[in-house]
Structure 1
């Protein structure tokens, strides 16, 4: 109450900060010179996204607020991801109404961290057309690369209650961006399917 911070809230904040510091300490041991490989479609690595980052909400659920993808590109993206091996779509088990989840129908999926909702095998979902962004689960190094290059922002609960590599990926504005976003989601799919993404020096 008042202008102070309650002891309970302070304890939760301290735990959150401790988890973040521990996470950064673990990641700092990874060589910064390694190139994150996004597959054959992006042999030179992830390009920088052109222009300023779209605005995104700071609350949960996190959504893209500006610079939305055209609906026709959203549908092309949906079709590409839905056509990946062993993938089927149904309403997301975690997102807002109207979000379409991408689930893996495979007997031996990847690690728990490769899924937004492990019980549903949901590794990504596409938000409704008024938004057009996606949430995907990525290995932490790949999530960091996508954020650094301007293609994504971290989820507020990533590494706390959700997988550490959960990011919001901005919807594609043109065909070239469609290819890049497809490559990002394809990497998420590969990880969920048990294939390890690669780095190279």
Structure 2
């Protein structure tokens, strides 16, 4: 079955969440009042083919990483933060996600208000395609964020060039 290469996002409604300006990069407000939104997103993400759930090797304690099977990893892209980890979910109360995207997609997600550049990328320690995607506030936002995560997953598998 061919992958859906269409990547269109609506404009995120409301002001951007408050986040920390340095590490650990966290979302400080606008978290979902019901953690089931983040849990639903995580359950979906960790059910994708060739994905293992693990403790993040680069994030705060409790962060859960999406790790791609090594035999499925792209060898010619900036999709991975460390080893085979290309995305991770931050623990309660945060709920935001860090992930890698093709550079133009990362800029697009930011322009549409769904995320921001990782402060470590701003300082040159990570490529400029690593962003924070804000935590979902409702079911509609879960659907949009699934598109962003799936795009990151496709990027990690080598379906897009940076």
- TM-score w.r.t. the length of structure 2 is 0.90
Deviates more, 1:105-114 or 1:184-193: 105-114
When the two structures are aligned, how many residues end up with a matched partner? 157
- Return the match for 1:181 from 145, 151, 155: 145
Instruction: After the TM superposition, list the runs of 4 or more consecutive aligned residues in structure 1 that deviate by more than 2 angstroms.
Output: none
Q: Which residue of 2 aligns with 1:116?
A: 81
C-alpha separation in 2, matches of 1:53 and 1:59? 17
Residue by residue over 1:128-167, the C-alpha shift from the partner in whole angstroms, topping out at 9 and shown as x without a partner, is 0210000011111000000010000101121611132000
Structure 2 gaps of 5+ residues are none
Residue by residue over 1:147-201, the C-alpha shift from the partner in whole angstroms, topping out at 9 and shown as x without a partner, is 0100001011216111320001001111110010011011001110111179xxx
Q: Which residue of 1 aligns with 2:52?
A: 88
C-alpha separation in 2, matches of 1:89 and 1:183? 19
C-alpha separation in 2, matches of 1:112 and 1:46? 23
- TM-score w.r.t. the length of structure 1 is 0.73
Q: Matches of residues 51-200 of structure 1 in structure 2 within 5 Å?
A: 51-69=14-32, 70-110=34-74, 111-117=76-82, 119=83, 121-158=84-121, 160-196=124-160
- Structure 1's 44 and 190: CA in aligned 2 closer, same or farther, altered over 3 A? closer
C-alpha separation in 2, matches of 1:177 and 1:54? 14
8 Å Cα contact 1:113/1:164 also seen in 2: no
Structure 1 gaps of 5+ residues are 1-37
C-alpha separation in 2, matches of 1:195 and 1:141? 14
Q: How large is the Cα RMSD of the aligned pairs?
A: 1.9
Corresponding residue SS for 1:107: helix
- Structure 1's 167 and 129: CA in aligned 2 closer, same or farther, altered over 3 A? same
C-alpha separation in 1, matches of 2:161 and 2:142? 20
Residue by residue over 1:39-58, the C-alpha shift from the partner in whole angstroms, topping out at 9 and shown as x without a partner, is 46xx5711100111111110
- Structure 1's 177 and 148: CA in aligned 2 closer, same or farther, altered over 3 A? same
